[in-house]
């Protein structure tokens, strides 16, 4: 009887571990995905922001966009997220 309970407990534990590990793996992002999200956020003007202005105000986002447009895109009329942005290092 004790062996049956022990076997059931081990089986239940192994099933729950497998279920949790699948969920964690499905939610994780690769380093490249995180880097792309950071580059896109910088392109959109969301970062960098100061600790006093979090979440960034619309004025700060627009200022960051203008700085990014001037420094990375070199005066393009309608800058899109492209190879220019991928050369920008993320701090």
pLDDT in tens, 40-71: 887 777 776 666 767 778 888 888 888 877 77
Is residue 84 pLDDT above 60, yes or no? no
Residue-level pLDDT at 15: 75
> Taking the model in full, what pTM does it have?
0.43
- Residue range 10-29: mean pLDDT, rounded: 72
Structural domains counted in the chain: 1
Rounded to an integer, what distance in angstroms lies between the CA atom of residue 62 and that of residue 67? 9
In a 3-state reduction of DSSP, which class is residue 55? coil
Buried b (16+ CB within 10 A) or exposed e, 30-43: eeeeeeeeebeebb
Tell me whether residue 56 is in a domain.
Answer: yes
Tell me whether residue 32 is in a domain.
Answer: yes
Rounded to an integer, what distance in angstroms lies between the CA atom of residue 33 and that of residue 22? 19
Residue-level pLDDT at 75: 63
Tell me whether residue 91 is in a domain.
Answer: no
Q: Structural domain of residue 19, as residue ranges?
A: 2-86
Residue-level pLDDT at 76: 65
């Amino acid at each position: 009887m004790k062996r049956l309970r022990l076997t059931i407990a081990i089986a239940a534990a192994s099933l729950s571990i497998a279920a949790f590990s699948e969920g964690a793996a499905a939610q994780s992002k690769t380093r490249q995905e995180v880097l792309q999200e950071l580059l896109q956020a910088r392109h959109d003007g969301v970062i960098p922001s100061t600790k006093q202005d979090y979440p960034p105000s619309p004025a700060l986002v627009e200022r960051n966009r203008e700085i990014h447009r001037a420094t990375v895109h070199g005066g393009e009329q309608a800058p899109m997220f492209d190879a220019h942005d991928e050369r920008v290092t993320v701090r």
